[in-house]
Amino acid sequence: MTDYTKKSYGRNAEIAAIFSLFKAGKDISQHGPRRLGKTFVLDRMVEQGKAHGFICLKVEIAGCTEPKMVFRRLCEAITTHRSVTTRTLSIITQRMGQIINPRGEQTGAWYQNLLSLDWETYLERLLAALHNDKKHQWAILIDELPIFLKALHDKGEDGIKQARDFMNLFSRLRSAQPNVRWLITGSIGIDPLARAGNYMGVLAKFYPYQLEPLSEPQSRDYLKDLAQLGLIQGRMAITDQEAQAVAEAVGWRAAYYLEAFAQNLPAHPETETEKVQRNINTAMEHLLKSHNKTTFGTWEEHIRKHHSEQQRGLSFRILNAIAPHETGLTLDGLHGALGLPTLNREALRQHLMLLIDEGFLYREPFDDEAAPFRFRITPLRLWWNQYRPQANA
Ligand SMILES: Nc1ncnc2c1ncn2[C@@H]1O[C@H](COP(=O)(O)OP(=O)(O)OP(=O)(O)O)[C@@H](O)[C@H]1O
Ligand SMILES: [Mg+2]
């Protein structure tokens, strides 16, 4: 297993910063678009928690469709952790007057009892135990919280109320057990949900931590390591010149896209500018072939899954309009190109902000209203322009 603490691209500065915020008593909401490496950071925090004085539990809640399922996952993550003593658990469960033995051999019987368990109360007691733990400080890292909230919202009014109740309960648990630190993250925007569900107040208590792409030197180290570790098919080395050129060609330096690109480099490593460029062009061509749809298809799927029917059409139109333009389109240029008489400029601007938030687009400089909106990931732009996904496909 790679020891990421020794790697420039191992997100060590970010992880140290997050733990410092934890130590300052802050809970964190980590932001960043699809595939940036948010879950990677969580996994490293679990590995390295001890060195920073924390025990981190990671809980993935995509796939949960009821608050009860989330409580249950949290309970399971806590009760199965080796640092929670059997004694602690038995005190809690005895108090609850229920015969549960999460570590028992008879899993069948255990699950029978779990069905009738009051998960919310159980979680509250477990958190109290973590809060009162004299030996360890605990942190709970929740991955894909917004996907869960979205699943509730999709059920309609009742679901939105469920989401709000859940977030209010979460807030209450946080303040009742202040020694336990929390980090929430996810691949879709949580703010629009919080606005719709009226729980912005709960989110406001989290310190927003923005994860950034890798730096150029980090990207080069990462690419060269990949080859050296034998992780690039048919390649044992990537030259400095190639690593630099790959980072530039991808534009947005997330490990995921750097790797996807590198996997398509021709077999022979090159150092001369022209030959390097030829390798880059070949890799780009390969990457965009239809069999690579999985690499970029997540972005299309993201819109299909997570945008409302109303939003979806506009998202596809906007991206299809911008895709042919390497340097992007300004707000007015785009407004004209779309030619939708019912779409006002402000609504379009709002929608573009959503697409920026989700990582599709960016505007540079961001504060310049006249600056063009363009794709963040160059190969994604080219892929989009080639396949031109449609709302009603
Ligand atoms: N700094 C890094 N070094 C090495 N590999 C990385 C790094 N960051 C991310 N990766 C790898 O890139 C891939 C995508 O990262 P990850 O799953 O963490 O992204 P994410 O932001 O959680 O994406 P999603 O929004 O889709 O959940 C993973 O295979 C991960 O291991
Ligand atoms: Mg993730």
Q: Are 19 and 51 in contact (CB under 8 A)?
A: no
Mean pLDDT, residues 372-391:
93
| Cβ burial, residue 116 (10 Å; 0-12/13-18/19+) | exposed
Residue 2 CA: nearest ligand 1 atom is 4
The answer, yes or no, to whether any atom of ligand 1 lies below 6 A from the CB of 218, is no
346 vs 99: which has the higher pLDDT: 346
CA–centroid distance, 254 to ligand 1, in Å, is 8
Q: Please give the pLDDT value at position 160.
A: 96
pLDDT tens, residue by residue, 123-144: 998 999 999 998 899 999 999 9
185 vs 290: which has the higher pLDDT: 185
Q: Please give the pLDDT value at position 189.
A: 79
Q: Which sign, positive or negative, has the C-alpha torsion 261, 262, 267, 268? A: positive
Q: How confident is the model at residue 258 (pLDDT cuts 50, 70, 90)?
A: very high
Does 339 score more than 60 pLDDT? yes
pLDDT tens, residue by residue, 311-327: 999 999 999 999 999 99
The answer, yes or no, to whether any atom of ligand 1 lies below 6 A from the CB of 253, is no
Residue 141 three-state SS: strand
Does 385 score more than 50 pLDDT? yes
Q: Tokens 């942190």 label which residue?
A: 139
Q: Specify whether the backbone of 350 is left (phi greater than 0), alpha (psi in -120 to 50) or beta.
A: alpha
CA–centroid distance, 333 to ligand 1, in Å, is 34
CA–centroid distance, 41 to ligand 1, in Å, is 8
Mean pLDDT, residues 68-74:
93
Q: Whose CA is nearest to atom 13 of ligand 1?
A: 256
Q: Please give the pLDDT value at position 310.
A: 86
The answer, yes or no, to whether any atom of ligand 1 lies below 6 A from the CB of 187, is yes
Q: Which of 4, 30, 40, 295 should be mutated for ligand 1, with most atoms under 8 A from CB?
A: 40
* CA-based R_g, the chain, Å: 24
93 vs 16: which has the higher pLDDT: 16
Residue 9 CA: nearest ligand 1 atom is 1
The answer, yes or no, to whether any atom of ligand 1 lies below 6 A from the CB of 384, is no
Q: How confident is the model at residue 116 (pLDDT cuts 50, 70, 90)?
A: low
The answer, yes or no, to whether any atom of ligand 1 lies below 6 A from the CB of 35, is yes
The answer, yes or no, to whether any atom of ligand 1 lies below 6 A from the CB of 36, is yes
Give the list of residues 6+ apart from residue 56 with CB closer than 8 angstroms, or none: 42, 45, 46, 49, 138, 139, 140, 141
Mean pLDDT, residues 10-17:
98
Does 290 score more than 80 pLDDT? no
Q: Which of 38, 119, 36 is nearest to 75 (CA)?
A: 119
Q: Please give the pLDDT value at position 105.
A: 47
CA–centroid distance, 38 to ligand 1, in Å, is 6
Does 106 score more than 50 pLDDT? no
Residue 298 CA: nearest ligand 1 atom is 26
Q: Please give the pLDDT value at position 3.
A: 93
The H-or-E segment that residue 380 falls in is: helix 378-387
Q: Please give the pLDDT value at position 142.
A: 97
- Least reliable range by pLDDT among 103-117, 153-167, 288-302: 103-117
Q: Please give the pLDDT value at position 256.
A: 95
pLDDT tens, residue by residue, 341-362: 899 999 999 999 989 988 899 9
Q: How confident is the model at residue 200 (pLDDT cuts 50, 70, 90)?
A: very high
The H-or-E segment that residue 232 falls in is: none
Q: Please give the pLDDT value at position 97.
A: 57
Q: What percent of the chain has pLDDT over 90?
A: 74
Q: Whose CA is nearest to atom 31 of ligand 1?
A: 40
Does 39 score more than 60 pLDDT? yes
Instruction: Give phi and psi for 183, each to the nearest 5.
Output: -135, 130
Q: Please give the pLDDT value at position 102.
A: 52
The answer, yes or no, to whether any atom of ligand 1 lies below 6 A from the CB of 279, is no
